[in-house]
């Protein structure tokens, strides 16, 4: 991910109320992000999605190989 893409993603997450930005100033500039309660509420569903993906990676890789698609 490029720095520009990361910045755009974090700004979008901030606008959606998922993270808060803390500008610590300094030279070079220092910024920290933290999850809001809304952002923390995503940890459970995202954890479940990750567990599903990890369980099913072999099946996905087999399907991609059968289709001639690039691997993970």
Averaged pLDDT, 17-44? 96
Domain ranges of the chain: 1-40, 42-72
pTM above 0.85, yes or no: no
pLDDT at 71: 67
Instruction: Return the CATH class of domain 1-40.
Output: mainly alpha
User: What contacts 35, CB < 8 A, 6 or more positions away?
Assistant: 18, 19, 43
Q: How many angstroms separate the CA atoms of 11 and 18, rounded?
A: 10
**Under 8 Å CB-to-CB from 53, ≥6 apart: which residues?**
60
Given this model, what pLDDT does residue 69 score? Answer: 79
Tens digits of residue pLDDT in 31-45: 999 999 999 999 999
Q: What's the confidence (pLDDT) of residue 72?
A: 63
Cα–Cα distance between 52 and 62 in angstroms, integer? 16
């Amino acid at each position: 991910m490029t720095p520009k893409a990361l910045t755009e993603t974090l700004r979008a997450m901030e606008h959606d109320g998922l993270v808060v930005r803390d500008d610590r100033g300094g030279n070079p500039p220092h910024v920290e992000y933290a999850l809001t309660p809304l952002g923390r509420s995503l940890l459970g569903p995202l954890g479940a999605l990750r567990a599903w993906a990890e369980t099913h990676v072999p099946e996905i890789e087999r399907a991609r190989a059968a289709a001639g698609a690039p691997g993970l």
